[in-house]
C-alpha cells in the first residue's frame, strides 16, 4: 500500500481495475483474503464554517498556519485566529480588512490591510494582538492602500500593494514604487516574481535589480493570477484569470500554451491557484468552485467532494501542514479533509457485509444488496456509485464468492449472482444467514438457516441447487464453524449455548449432537461465538475466551487471548488477515499484531464505537494499509498507515482566567515549575481553556485533565475544552491536560503550574509567629497550670483546713445548739421552777396573810373575851396570848423568809432593781416584791402589819423613788425589770458556756 501512502491525494479514488480476482476463504462474513483492487478509498469529508461559527464577515481573502497548527484568516472584519476550539478576532488599528497573511521562517505571522501592515502575536495572556510596522516607512509612503500579498525572499518580508513593495529586513523597510501597478507577486523556488504594468519580472533584493520575463503581448493581454512549479525543475506554470494554462521555461524564457480550463469570453474567472504537495493543481474560480488539474495540466472531473462547497466563488486556496485543503469563499470557509485517514465509501443503508468480486464491490445491507458502478477515469475524490441489485430488496446478511459466483444469504433465502451477471434464487429456502463450504467435499455446501442446515450442491450445469434439509437439527445456525473432526460442526446459539453436531457420511441427517450450556467449564449459555485463531477453535464469551479440550470434554480458558483482552468484556469477532488479527471488543474495533510487545490498536476506529451491527460486524481488510468497516451508518475506509505518522501535537493553553472579588483577571499562558502562576488565597472561578491546533481532526476532540495537589483522579474524557476550579485550598498545583481525537490522534501531555497563596495567617512567617505564640501560650499555660495546680493544692489545703474548721465550727455549733437547747430546757425548767416557786411563794404569802388575818382575828376575839370577862386570871392569860399574838404579828422572821425566797426566785429582778436603785432599803425592796407579785394594798398591809393607808403612802413614795409618771403602771414596770434581768442572766450563762467550749 506504499502507493496509497505517497499518492494519497492523487488516488483516494482513481478508477480501479481488477487484474484478476482471488477467491476469498469462505468463513464468518467472508472478510478475509487479498483483493487485487489497485486503489480503493472513499470521498473525503468536507467541514463547513459559517458566520455562526466565526462570528465575523463571511468574506475571506487570505490564510496561513503557524508552527503550532493555529490558523489565521484574513477577513473584512480583520484577522480571525482559529486554534481548533475557538475563534478570536484581531482588529487592525484603523479597522480595515486583512487582505494578506503570511507565516514567515522567523515564526512570526505577518498581516496586511489598508494602509497598515505588521505582525499578529499572542501575548502572554493568550490574546492575539496586532503590532504595527507602519513606523518603519516614511509618512509620505504610508498611503499605499491595501496590501494584497506577503511573501518572503532573500531574508526580506515583502508586502505588496498596487502602489509599492515594502521589503522589511532587520527591522528596516525598503520601499519600491511601481511603474503602474503591482498586480501580482509570488515566490517560486526562492525567486520573487511580480507583475508590473502587465509585465512579468523578477527582482533581486540584494541589488534591487529587475529582470523582465514576459510582456503583455506574450500573455495576449491576459492577467496572471498564479505562477506555480511545473513538472520539471526549470518549468513554471503560468495561470491567467481568463483560464489559460501556459508553460514557461525558466532557462530560455520560452512560453508555450498548454490548455484552457475556462472557455473564452466566459463570465467565469480563475481567482487563485495552488499546487499541492502531491502534485495536483487546485484552481479557485469566480463561479464554478474549484477545478483540479493533474501534473500534465489535464482537467480532472470533480464529481462530488469539491462540488459540496457552500459558495460558488473561491477567493483563495490554502493547504495546511497535514494536507487538508481550505477554500476561502466569498461567503464562508470550507475545509476539505484530505488528511483524514477515514473516508466514507457508502452511506445509504446499514452494512452487514461487503465483498469485492466480479470487478465490483457488493454490499449486503438492511435494504438489500448494492453493487458498485465503475467511476469515470477522470474522476477525482469521488465515491463509488452504488445501485441496488434488483430482486434482492430486504435484509441481506452475508456475501460469499464460490465457483466465480456471488452467493447472497438473505432473509428471503439464497440468491446467486453469476459471473455473466445473471441472478437467480434457490427455491424452498427462507431465512439464510450464510453459506459455507464443506471441507473435503468439493462442490458441497451448507446453507445455515434460521431453522437448521440445508445441503447445497454446485452442479455440472454450473448452477447452485438445493439437495435437501439435514434432519435432526432445527436450531438457528448463524454462528457455525467446521471442526477438524470429520463431518463435525460447532454451532453457537446466542441464548441456548453451544452445539457440537456430527453429520452422517451422506450429509442427510445428524448422527450425533452434544449440547453445552453452563457445564463443562462454559461460564454461561449466553453470547457465545466461535472463531478460528491461529488454526485453533476458540469460543468467545462474556467472561473470557475458551478452547475445547477433547480429552477431558471440557472448555478451558485461552490464556494468550485472555491476556490481551481480559475477561470482563466480550470479544464478538476475531479475524486474521496478513499478520493482523482483527477484532470487535465490546463495540470497539481494532487489530492485534503478535509481535514482541503486542497491543490492541483501537484508536483509529474510535468513531465507530457502538455503530456495528451486533454479532454481524463487518470488517474487510484490503491489504496491510487499508481496511473497510461496515456499520449502521454505512461503509468506511481506514488508512492504516496513519497510525505510524500519528500527530503528537501538545495541548496549548488558550487562556487562563480567574476572579478576585468579582473582578476578572487573566493569567499568563506559559509558565514552568520554577516560575508558577501565583494567585491570592481568595481567587475564585479559575478557568483553563485549551486546544490542540495541531490535530488533523479538529472535530470531536476530547480532553482529560488531572489537577495534582487536589487529590482528585483524572477527569473523564469530554469534548469540553476547559477546566474550571473554584475555592481551591492554598497550595502548589500542577494541571496536566491531554487530548485525543476520534481518529486515534493522541496529544502529548501539557502542564501548567500555579500556586494559591495562603491567607496571612497561613503564611510561613505567620505560621512561625503562630508557632512561637503557641509555644509561649503553651509555656504560659504550663506555668499557669502548674501555678494553678499549686494554688489548687494550697486552696485544697486551705479548703481542707476550712472544711476542718467548718467541721469544727459545725461541731461547735452543734454543741452550741445542744447547749442552747440545754439552756432552753434549763430555762424552761428554771422558768417552770420560778413559776413553781413563785406559786409556792405566793401560797406562802397567802398563807402568811391568812396567818396574820387569823392572828388579828384571834387577837380581836381574845380582846373581846378579855374585855368581857372579869376573871383576872383569865384576863392575864388572855393578855399573855395577846402579847404572844402581837409578837408574832410584829415578828419579821417570816418577812425575812419571804425576802430570801423571793430573791432566790426572782434573782434577776432583785439584781436589776438593786443595780438601778442601789439606795433602796430592805422595806422598799420588799414593797417592790409585793407589788410585783400584784398583791393588794390590804394584803400587803396585813403582811406588813400596817394599815392600808400606810401601804398606799409607801407605794406613793415608791413611785416617786422610781420616777414613775402617774399613768405608768407600777406593776408592769417592775415586771419588765424582771424579764430583762432574766434574759440578761440567760445571755451571760450562754456566753459563759461558749467561752467554756472554746477553752
Cα 92 from chain centre: 40
Q: How far apart are CA 655 and CA 723, in angstroms?
A: 11
Taking the CA atoms of residue 424, residue 427, residue 433 and residue 439 in that order, the dihedral angle to the nearest 10 degrees is -90
Predicted local confidence at residue 21, as pLDDT: 32
- Name the region of 46 (left: φ>0; alpha: ψ -120 to 50; beta: rest): beta
pLDDT digits (tens, 9 = 90+) for 883-930: 877 777 665 666 666 666 666 666 677 777 778 788 887 777 778 877
- Name the region of 654 (left: φ>0; alpha: ψ -120 to 50; beta: rest): alpha
Three-class SS state of 306: helix
Predicted local confidence at residue 137, as pLDDT: 95
Pairing of strands 379-380, 299-302: parallel
Rg of the chain over all Cα atoms, to the nearest angstrom: 65
- Among residues 632, 580, 641, 625, the alpha carbon closest in space to that of 609 is found at 632
Q: Spell out the domains of the chain, with CATH numbers in brackets.
A: 47-177 (2.130.10.10), 347-645 (2.130.10.10), 652-762 (2.60.40.10), 765-998 (no CATH)
Predicted local confidence at residue 139, as pLDDT: 93
Predicted local confidence at residue 919, as pLDDT: 80
Predicted local confidence at residue 690, as pLDDT: 93
Q: How far apart are CA 89 and CA 129, in angstroms?
A: 9
Q: How far apart are CA 593 and CA 571, in angstroms?
A: 16
- For residues 386 and 348, the answer to whether their CB atoms sit within 8 Å is yes
Predicted local confidence at residue 971, as pLDDT: 77
- Among residues 740, 745, 696, 71, the alpha carbon closest in space to that of 324 is found at 696
- For residues 575 and 556, the answer to whether their CB atoms sit within 8 Å is no
pLDDT digits (tens, 9 = 90+) for 7-35: 333 333 333 333 233 333 333 333 333 33
Torsions phi, psi of 106, nearest 5?
-80, 5
Q: How far apart are CA 590 and CA 859, in angstroms?
A: 165
User: In whole angstroms, how far apart are CA 444 and each of 110, 405, 454, 485?
Assistant: 73, 14, 11, 17
Predicted local confidence at residue 53, as pLDDT: 92
Q: Taking CA 909 as the corner, what is the angle to CA 904 and CA 914, rounded to the nearest 5 degrees?
A: 100
Predicted local confidence at residue 984, as pLDDT: 53
DSSP 648-692: -PBPEEEEEEEEETTEEEEE-S---SSSPEEE-TTEEEEEEEEE-
H/E run at residue 72: strand 71-75
DSSP assigned state of 794 = H
Pairing of strands 750-756, 677-679: parallel
Q: How far apart are CA 965 and CA 254, in angstroms?
A: 172
**Residue 64 burial (CB count, 10 A):** 22
Cβ neighbors of 692 (< 8 A, separation 6 or more) are 69, 84, 649, 650, 651, 652, 698, 701, 739, 741, 745, 747
Q: Which residues of the chain have pLDDT under 50?
A: 1-39, 303, 375-381, 982, 986, 990-991, 993-999
Cα 77 from chain centre: 38
Predicted local confidence at residue 936, as pLDDT: 82
- DSSP lists the bridge partners of residue 686 as 725
Amino acid at each position: 500500500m506504499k502507493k496509497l501512502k505517497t499518492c494519497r491525494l492523487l488516488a483516494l479514488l482513481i478508477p480501479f481495475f481488477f487484474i484478476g480476482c482471488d477467491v476469498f476463504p469462505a468463513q464468518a462474513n467472508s472478510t478475509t483474503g487479498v483483493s487485487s483492487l489497485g486503489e480503493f478509498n472513499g470521498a473525503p469529508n468536507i467541514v463547513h464554517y459559517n458566520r455562526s461559527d466565526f462570528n465575523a464577515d463571511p468574506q475571506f481573502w487570505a490564510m496561513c498556519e503557524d508552527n503550532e497548527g493555529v490558523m489565521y484568516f484574513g477577513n473584512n472584519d480583520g484577522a480571525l485566529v482559529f486554534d481548533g476550539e475557538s475563534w478570536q478576532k484581531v482588529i487592525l488599528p484603523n479597522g480595515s480588512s486583512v487582505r494578506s497573511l503570511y507565516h514567515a521562517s522567523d515564526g512570526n505571522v505577518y498581516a496586511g490591510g489598508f494602509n497598515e501592515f505588521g505582525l499578529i502575536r499572542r501575548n502572554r495572556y493568550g490574546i492575539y494582538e496586532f503590532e504595527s510596522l507602519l513606523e518603519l516607512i516614511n509618512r509620505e509612503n504610508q498611503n499605499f492602500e491595501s496590501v494584497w500579498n506577503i511573501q518572503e525572499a532573500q531574508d526580506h518580508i515583502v508586502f505588496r500593494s498596487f502602489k509599492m513593495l515594502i521589503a522589511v529586513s532587520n527591522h528596516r523597510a525598503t520601499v519600491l514604487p511601481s511603474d503602474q501597478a503591482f498586480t501580482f507577486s509570488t515566490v517560486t523556488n526562492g525567486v520573487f516574481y511580480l507583475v508590473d504594468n502587465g509585465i512579468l519580472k523578477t527582482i533581486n533584493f540584494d541589488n534591487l535589480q529587475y529582470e523582465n520575463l514576459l510582456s503583455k503581448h506574450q500573455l495576449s493581454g491576459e492577467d496572471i493570477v498564479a505562477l506555480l512549479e511545473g513538472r520539471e525543475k526549470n518549468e513554471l506554470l503560468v495561470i491567467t484569470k481568463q483560464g489559460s494554462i501556459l508553460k514557461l521555461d525558466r532557462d530560455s524564457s520560452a512560453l508555450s500554451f498548454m490548455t484552457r480550463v475556462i472557455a473564452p469570453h466566459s463570465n467565469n474567472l480563475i481567482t487563485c491557484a495552488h499546487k499541492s504537495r502531491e502534485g495536483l493543481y487546485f484552481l479557485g474560480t469566480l463561479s464554478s468552485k474549484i477545478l483540479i488539474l493533474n501534473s500534465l495540466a489535464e482537467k480532472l472531473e470533480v464529481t462530488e467532494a469539491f462540488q459540496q462547497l457552500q459558495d460558488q466563488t473561491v477567493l483563495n486556496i490554502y493547504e495546511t501542514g497535514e494536507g487538508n485543503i481550505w477554500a476561502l469563499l466569498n461567503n464562508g470557509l470550507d475545509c476539505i479533509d484530505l488528511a483524514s485517514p477515514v473516508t466514507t465509501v457508502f452511506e445509504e443503508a446499514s452494512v452487514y457485509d461487503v465483498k469485492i468480486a466480479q470487478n465490483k464491490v457488493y454490499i449486503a445491507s438492511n435494504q438489500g444488496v448494492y453493487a458498485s458502478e465503475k467511476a469515470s477515469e477522470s474522476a477525482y475524490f469521488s465515491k463509488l456509485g452504488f445501485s441496488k441489485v434488483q430482486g434482492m430488496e430486504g435484509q441481506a446478511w452475508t456475501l460469499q464468492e464460490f465457483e466465480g459466483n456471488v452467493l447472497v444469504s438473505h432473509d428471503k433465502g439464497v440468491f446467486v449472482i453469476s459471473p455473466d451477471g445473471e441472478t437467480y434464487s434457490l427455491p424452498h429456502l427462507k431465512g439464510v444467514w450464510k453459506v459455507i463450504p464443506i471441507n473435503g467435499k468439493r462442490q458441497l455446501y451448507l446453507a445455515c438457516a434460521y431453522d437448521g442446515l440445508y445441503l447445497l450442491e454446485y452442479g455440472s450445469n454450473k448452477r447452485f441447487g438445493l439437495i435437501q434439509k439435514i434432519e435432526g437439527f432445527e436450531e438457528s445456525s448463524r454462528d457455525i464453524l467446521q471442526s477438524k473432526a470429520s463431518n463435525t460442526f460447532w454451532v453457537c446459539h446466542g441464548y441456548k449455548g453451544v452445539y457440537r453436531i456430527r453429520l452422517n457420511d451422506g450429509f442427510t441427517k445428524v448422527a450425533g449432537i452434544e449440547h453445552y450450556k453452563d457445564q463443562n467449564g462454559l461460564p454461561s449459555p449466553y453470547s457465545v461465538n466461535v472463531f478460528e485463531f491461529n488454526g485453533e477453535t476458540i469460543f468467545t464469551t462474556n467472561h473470557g475466551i475458551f478452547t475445547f479440550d477433547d480429552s477431558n470434554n471440557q472448555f478451558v480458558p485461552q490464556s494468550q487471548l485472555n491476556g490481551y483482552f481480559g475477561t470482563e468484556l466480550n470479544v464478538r469477532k476475531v479475524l486474521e488477515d496478513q499478520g493482523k488479527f482483527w477484532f470487535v471488543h465490546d463495540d470497539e474495533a481494532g487489530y492485534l499484531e503478535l509481535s514482541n510487545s503486542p497491543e490492541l490498536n483501537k484508536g483509529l476506529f474510535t468513531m465507530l464505537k457502538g455503530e456495528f451491527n451486533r454479532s454481524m460486524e463487518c470488517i474487510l481488510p484490503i491489504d496491510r494499509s487499508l481496511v473497510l468497516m461496515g456499520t449502521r451508518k454505512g461503509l468506511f475506509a481506514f488508512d492504516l498507515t496513519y497510525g505510524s505518522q500519528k500527530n503528537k501535537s501538545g495541548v496549548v493553553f488558550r487562556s487562563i482566567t480567574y476572579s478576585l472579588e468579582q473582578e476578572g483577571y487573566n493569567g499568563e499562558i506559559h509558565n514552568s515549575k520554577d516560575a508558577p502562576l501565583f494567585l491570592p488565597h481568595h481567587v475564585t472561578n479559575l478557568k483553563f481553556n485549551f486546544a490542540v491546533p495541531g490535530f488533523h481532526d479538529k472535530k470531536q476532540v476530547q480532553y482529560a485533565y488531572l489537577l495534582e495537589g487536589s487529590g482528585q483522579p483524572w477527569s473523564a474524557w469530554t469534548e469540553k475544552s476547559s477546566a474550571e476550579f473554584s475555592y481551591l485550598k492554598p497550595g502548589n498545583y500542577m494541571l496536566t491536560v491531554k487530548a485525543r481525537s476520534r481518529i486515534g490522534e493522541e496529544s502529548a501531555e501539557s502542564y501548567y503550574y500555579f500556586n494559591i497563596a495562603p491567607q496571612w495567617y497561613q503564611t510561613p512567617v505567620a505560621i512561625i509567629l503562630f508557632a512561637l505564640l503557641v509555644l509561649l501560650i503553651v509555656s504560659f499555660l504550663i506555668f499557669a497550670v502548674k501555678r494553678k495546680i499549686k494554688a489548687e493544692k494550697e486552696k485544697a489545703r486551705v479548703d481542707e483546713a476550712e472544711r476542718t474548721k467548718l467541721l469544727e465550727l459545725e461541731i461547735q455549733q452543734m454543741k452550741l445548739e445542744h447547749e442552747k437547747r440545754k439552756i432552753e430546757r434549763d430555762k424552761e425548767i428554771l422558768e417552770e421552777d420560778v413559776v413553781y416557786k413563785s406559786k409556792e411563794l405566793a401560797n406562802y404569802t397567802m398563807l402568811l396573810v391568812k396567818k396574820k388575818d387569823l392572828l388579828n382575828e384571834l387577837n380581836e376575839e381574845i380582846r373581846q373575851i378579855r374585855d368581857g370577862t372579869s376573871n383576872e386570871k383569865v384576863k392575864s392569860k388572855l393578855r399573855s396570848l395577846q402579847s404572844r399574838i402581837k409578837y408574832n404579828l410584829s415578828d419579821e422572821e417570816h418577812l425575812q423568809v419571804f425576802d430570801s425566797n423571793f430573791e432566790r426566785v426572782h434573782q434577776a429582778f432583785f439584781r436589776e432593781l438593786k443595780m438601778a436603785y442601789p439606795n433602796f432599803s430592805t422595806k422598799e425592796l420588799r414593797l417592790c416584791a409585793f407589788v410585783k407579785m400584784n398583791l393588794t394594798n390590804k394584803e400587803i398591809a396585813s403582811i406588813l402589819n400596817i394599815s392600808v393607808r400606810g401601804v398606799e403612802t409607801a407605794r406613793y413614795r415608791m413611785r416617786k423613788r422610781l420616777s414613775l409618771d402617774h399613768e405608768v403602771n407600777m406593776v408592769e414596770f417592775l415586771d419588765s425589770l424582771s424579764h430583762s434581768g432574766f434574759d440578761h442572766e440567760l445571755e451571760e450563762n450562754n456566753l459563759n458556756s461558749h467561752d467554756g467550749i472554746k477553752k
